[in-house]
Chains A and B, each alone.
Chain A
């Protein structure tokens, strides 16, 4: 904690954060607009940058590209939070694609050039992916994930376990892990 505070007291890190903001704000807005109207999309973007600032010392040991992708995952999940808060997420919990997500065909196109794992993630039920993103990328606890998704912890753990199993099987099938 002391190390983190010392890092955050470094003015050059503030400059780095401002640069990160300038480079990613358009991308963040475009991502949020796939889910939300302009006003709510800006709320999602603001809250995502607040969250990114909170975790910025942790993000410093990642590449610029990884930081950018971290922000995209944050914006996506914050947008879903706002959809839930508005009651517009009902009926999309298991198999239906998200309003802003890609269709199956688009997903295959988007995944072109990437490995099978990306294809599986793009085609898995939205809540499995959301649980995996919250737990593994945003590093939320099971309690935080359950509260954000309005699920029980048991349901979160079950989806995490199933999603992880599905991806592990893909890695095995592709020969990426023995």
Chain B
């Protein structure tokens, strides 16, 4: 048996082992957990274009978006030079810019304690929106608001160490926006039919927030500024 044949056999055994270990639920384990609305939303761009075929067809547009994003990053760099708050923001987040989306990960102080998240919600919403769904656990909350016409606002917050938000960056213009003294990051949709995202981090409570909606930036900012513990 050659080394290559041995490795192929070992690979099969490793795959078979994974099946033995994970294919059946353990006692007390949920047999078929469903993806949360947040995960489904995050995976939507991947499922719409899993291999970047449409993206390659629109390469020029993607390059323009990347240039806009780079300009925003450079602007943020200039802010960093003079703003202690902005430096603290950068210490707290890790931004991974991929071709289709960016991952914004929040890094808490390693010595810090993670308490209960509490109940956060916006006190102001545009007319016609009502709460449709609330999913909460001690470290994560997702509230979905909607109108009778089907428009939706997703409000998510978490104080989980290493938490991350994934945002589409192909059809957006990025800019820094302060939210009640906290550093925030707005990805404003520049293509019709795409949602805008607003992400901000409250260092005092160690809580990261995200708003996603097809709304003008001034409405998103107003909703964000109204967010408070209930």
Contact = CB atoms under 8 A, between A and B. Distances in A.
Interface string A105-123: 0110011001101100110
Contacts of B30: 30, 33
A68 B21 CA distance: 13
Contacts of A110: 20-21, 24
B15 A66 contact: yes
Contact of B34 (A26, A66, A86): A26
Determine chain B's interface SS by DSSP, over half rule. Answer: mixed
**Chain B, interface residues (CB within 8 Å), range:** 35 or more
B15 A137 contact: yes
B16 interface: yes
B218 interface: no
Interface in B11-47: 11, 13-26, 29-36, 38-39, 42-43, 46-47
Given A30-B29, A30-B31, A72 B18 contact: yes
B15 A132 contact: no
Contacts of A21: 43, 47
Contact of A56 (B13, B25, B51, B137): B51
Contacts of B34: 26, 29
A43 B46 contact: no
Given A11-B53, A136-B7, A69 B35 contact: no
A121 B33 contact: no
A53 interface: yes
A96 interface: no
B6 interface: yes
A38 B36 contact: yes
A17 B14 contact: no
Interface string A46-77: 10011001001100000001101110110010
Given A14-B50, A69-B16, A167-B13, 11 more contacts: A26-B31, A34-B26, A42-B42, A46-B46, A49-B43, A73-B15, A76-B18, A76-B22, A118-B16, A136-B7, A168-B6
Interface of B: 1, 6-7, 9-11, 13-26, 29-36, 38-39, 42-43, 46-47, 49-53, 56, 110, 137, 139-140, 158, 160-164, 166
Q: Which 6 A-B pairs have the closest CB atoms?
A: A69-B15, A8-B51, A72-B18, A26-B32, A121-B17, A117-B13
